[in-house]
Amino acid sequence: MRWCSPRRPRPAPTSSSGTARPASDVLWLRHERARVHSRAVSLHEFLDLTVRWVHLIAGIMWIGNSMLFNWLDRNLEKAPERANEPGYEGKMWMVHSGGFYEVEKKQLAPGQMPARLHWFKWQNFTTWASGIGLLVVVYYMNGGAFLIDPSVREMGLPQAVSISAGSLIAAWLVYDLSWRVLGPSQPTVAGLLSLAMLLALTVFYTQVFSGRAAYLHVGVLLGSVMTGNVWMVIVPSQRKLVAATESGQEQDFALNKKAKQRSIHNNYMTFPLLFIMLSNHFPSTYGHKLNWLILFVLMFAGAGIRHFMNIRFTMKRTASWLGPIVVIAAVAVTLLFVLTARREVAPPQAVVAENLQPPSREPVRFSQVQGIIKERCSSCHAAKTTEPMFPVAPNNVMFDTPAQIQTLAPRIKERVFVNRTMPFINKTGMADEEREVLGRWVDEGANLD
């Protein structure tokens, strides 16, 4: 265990002439610094809240639209009397909000352009732009505290940001080039190359950034690819389709096929992306030593479930679709159970710190537990925090009284001993021996004796 040397007392503040400032001036300066810091923290929290809210609303609209149109494409029915009608692809009737809707899909003949046409594109851009905003506000600001984990890799903020931005841009370029060159003639090869790149970057991010930031970067990667598909392929193809129809020219159906291919890619990335948006609530995933494998299994399972939802209405027998989905779910659950299960660690045999009890059969004293929590946890989890990053206790978790500590004992064991995701990036330097003491205390009944 590493112990910090005692902090040396700071010299008394002096004026420009070198004389000591009056006590009133010193108190005023401290008050001003605290007030400025409080304003900065409040502004940062306001930005986080606002951008996150916009991201959520726009994401619901974008993903909802995407899922609706993919569902429509797979459920359109051709009327027998119109089967040979040029450009006719089918229609459907729906009931919702107290009325009936008739939806028809067709390719318009040259010159047959409706007076008003609705586009679905800005929801995607708003989701992506607000997601990049969250990346900046949460991970690039605050000195990169959520981005950099010294236990994973020591680096400065400029280096971390360069790796983050550079890898995201490079990933889109490789993906887009692969599908432009190989997609038309060898889609299987392009697909395997894309999956290999995704796996490689997933592993790379977990070896460079904190576990939470690594998951977030995979999510930003998927979101950026989806947005690139929309604005670099799908929307340009649709604009050319509209322009050809308006000018009375024949449509280039190769563009339609290309746009549809990228739209299907986006469709399969939807569920993996949704999990990643929620992943910071599940530290047993990103905090695990095999976090990259857990994420890849979950992404594969999400894409598999999305595939089932795409084809379930076209399968003729229940057994034909029920079998694959059960297999996918069983494999995913089994792998996750095996990967996330942790073995109990034997009590340490080495010399322990003064505030730790040596390995023995004697129960852990609450005074030991309280000392560890005060030293390692209370800077963030208290009514009055001392950690600048958290002016308010995260999730309102506070350890000011013995009753609070006892009530939260199961969560303490889960985060500190089982998942080892607290303290945050182990900023306060909690030792493994201290984690063992807290885990034993909970197992022994979390007594206050």
What are the tens digits of pLDDT across the range 259-302?
889 989 999 999 999 999 988 888 778 888 889 998 998 898 88
Q: What is the rounded CA–CA span in Å between residue 392 and residue 186?
A: 54
Domain spans, the chain: 47-76+120-340, 366-443
Exposed e or buried b per residue across 27-45, where buried means at least 16 C-beta atoms within 10 angstroms of its C-beta: eeeeeeeeeeeeeebeebe
171-190 pLDDT tens trace: 999 999 999 999 889 999 99
Looking at residue 42, what is its pLDDT? 67
Looking at residue 286, what is its pLDDT? 86
Which of 378, 330, 360 lies closest to 437, judged by CA? 360
Looking at residue 299, what is its pLDDT? 92
Looking at residue 318, what is its pLDDT? 56
Q: Which residue's structure tokens are 């931005």?
A: 165
Yes or no: say if 236 and 243 are a contact pair by the CB < 8 Å rule.
no
User: Can you give the pTM of this predicted structure?
Assistant: 0.72
DSSP 268-332: HHHHHHHHHHHGGG-HHHHTSTTHHHHHHHHHHHHHHHHHHHHHTTT-SSHHHHHHHHHHHHHHH
Looking at residue 396, what is its pLDDT? 75
Q: What is the largest CA-CA distance in the chain?
A: 99
Yes or no: say if 140 and 147 are a contact pair by the CB < 8 Å rule.
yes
Which residues of the chain have a pLDDT value below 50? 1-10, 12-16, 21, 26, 28-31, 34, 36-38, 40, 343-355
Angle of helix 122-134 relative to helix 23-75, nearest 10 degrees, comes to: 150
Yes or no: say if 357 and 437 are a contact pair by the CB < 8 Å rule.
yes
Number of H helices, E strands in the chain: 14, 2
User: Running DSSP on this structure, what letter comes out for residue 400?
Assistant: S
DSSP 108-136: PPTT---S------HHHHHHHHHHHHHII
Tokens of 290: 């095999």
Looking at residue 262, what is its pLDDT? 92
Q: Which residue's structure tokens are 């930031």?
A: 213
DSSP 129-163: HHHHHHIIIIIISGGGTTT--TTT----HHHHHHH
Looking at residue 321, what is its pLDDT? 62
User: Running DSSP on this structure, what letter comes out for residue 352?
Assistant: -
